[in-house]
Amino acid sequence: MAESAQPSRKRRLQETAVALPALGAVFVGLPILWGGGDESNAVATSNAAIYLFSVWVGMIVLAFALSWAFRRPKAED
Chosen residue from 8, 10, 31, 73 binding another protein by CB under 8 A = 31
- Calculate the alpha carbon distances from 45 to 33, 40, 42, 51 in Å: 16, 15, 9, 10
Does residue 77 interact with another protein by CB under 8 A?
no
Does residue 4 interact with another protein by CB under 8 A?
no
Q: How far apart are CA 56 and CA 24, in angstroms?
A: 8
Helical (H) or strand (E) element with 77 = none
Does residue 58 interact with another protein by CB under 8 A?
no
Closest approach of another protein to the CB of residue 76, in Å: 15
Does residue 9 interact with another protein by CB under 8 A?
no
